[in-house]
Amino acid sequence: MNIRRIIEMKGKEPITMITAYDYPSSRIASESGVDILLVGDSLGNVVLGYDSTVPVSMEEMLIHIKAVRRGAPEAFIVGDMPFLSYEISPEKAIENAGLMLKAGANSVKLEGGEEFAEIIRRIVSAGIPVMGHLGFTPQSINLLGGHRVQGKTAESRAKLLRDAKALEDAGCFSIVLELVTEEVAKEVTESVSIPTIGIGAGRYCDGQVLVFHDVVGLSQGEFKFVKKYADTYRIMLESVTQYKEDVKNRIFPSEKNIF
C-alpha cells in the first residue's frame, strides 16, 4: 500500500484502517489484510490508561510506532501526532513528524482544520505525507466539552466543509472524519478529491477506521458507532482465572510441562 493507491481507492473500493499499538496487534492487523495501520494517540486511553489523549507524549508515540513497524514490516503505517507536537511552530511540527517517519511510520495524522493549513503545507513540503482529522477531535476535548457529534448546525456544517477544502489544498492525502452526522460526512466526502475515512461518520465515507481493542472486544466501553466482533476480554479473563485456579489446585504444571 502507498498513498497513491490510497487516493485511487476513493469512490472505487472502501478503505479499511484499524489502530495498532504494539507488536501483537500489529501482526494481527497486518495479517488480516487491512489497508492502513494507525498508531493512534488513542493508545493513551486504550493501552496506557490515561483519561484522554492529551497526556500522550512524542516519546510514547515513537515507542509504539517502532513496535508496530516490527510487527508489520510491509504495512502502510500512519503515526498520530500527539497534543502540542505540531501546534507550536512549523519547525517543531516538521521535526516531530520526521521523527515519526524515522521510527517507521509512512505518514502522520494531525487534528485540526484551516487554522493548521500552513503547518500541514510545511510538513508536506518536507516530504512527509499528512492525513487530516476533522469532526470530533479528541485532543480538543477540554474545549469541546465532551464527545459531541459534529455537523449538526449550519455553522458546524459550513466549518467542516471549509476545513476539508483547506486540508485538501494544503496537501493532505486523506481526512479522518470522527463523530460527524452521516449527511454532512457524505457532503464533505463529495466535496473533496481525497478520501475520507470515517469513525462514527456513517456509511458514505470512502473508508472506515475503528480502534483495535473495540473491534476485538478488549475495551470495556460500548459505543454506538463500533461493531464488536469478539469478546476477547472475557476469553482472556477466563484464561487467566483458569491458570490461577490450576496453580492453586496443583494441576499446573503437570507431567507434560516438566523437564
Least spacing, CB of residue 92 vs ligand KIV, in Å: 20
Query: DSSP string covering the chain, please?
Result: --HHHHHHTTTTS-EEEEE--SHHHHHHHHHHT-SEEEE-TTHHHHTS--SSSTT--HHHHHHHHHHHHHH-TTSEEEEEPPTTSSSS-HHHHHHHHHHHHHHT-SEEEEEBSGGGHHHHHHHHHTT--EEEEEES-GGGHHHHTS---B--SHHHHHHHHHHHHHHHHHT-SEEEEESB-HHHHHHHHHH-SS-EEEESS-S-SSEEEE-HHHHTT-S----TT------HHHHHHHHHHHHHHHHHTT-SS-GGG--
Q: Which of 8, 59, 178, 187 is catalytic?
A: 178
208 binds ligand KIV (CB under 6 A): no
Amino acid code (one letter) for 184: V
Looking at beta carbons only, is 79 or 171 nearer to ligand KIV?
Answer: 79
For the segment 79-108, give every residue that binds ligand KIV (CB under 6 A): 80
Least spacing, CB of residue 41 vs ligand KIV, in Å: 5
Among 25, 42, 181, 219, binds ligand KIV (CB under 6 A): 42
Establish whether 178 is a catalytic residue.
Answer: yes
Among 35, 163, 168, 178, binds ligand KIV (CB under 6 A): 178
Least spacing, CB of residue 209 vs ligand KIV, in Å: 5
Least spacing, CB of residue 111 vs ligand KIV, in Å: 8
Q: Total residues at the site for ligand KIV (CB under 6 A)? A: 11
Among 18, 77, 199, 205, binds ligand KIV (CB under 6 A): 199
Least spacing, CB of residue 245 vs ligand KIV, in Å: 36
Among 78, 123, 209, 218, binds ligand KIV (CB under 6 A): 209
Q: Which three cell numbers stand for residue 82?
A: 500527539
By annotation, the residues acting in catalysis are 178
- Give the residues lining the site for ligand KIV (CB under 6 A): 19, 38, 40-42, 80, 176, 178, 199, 209, 211
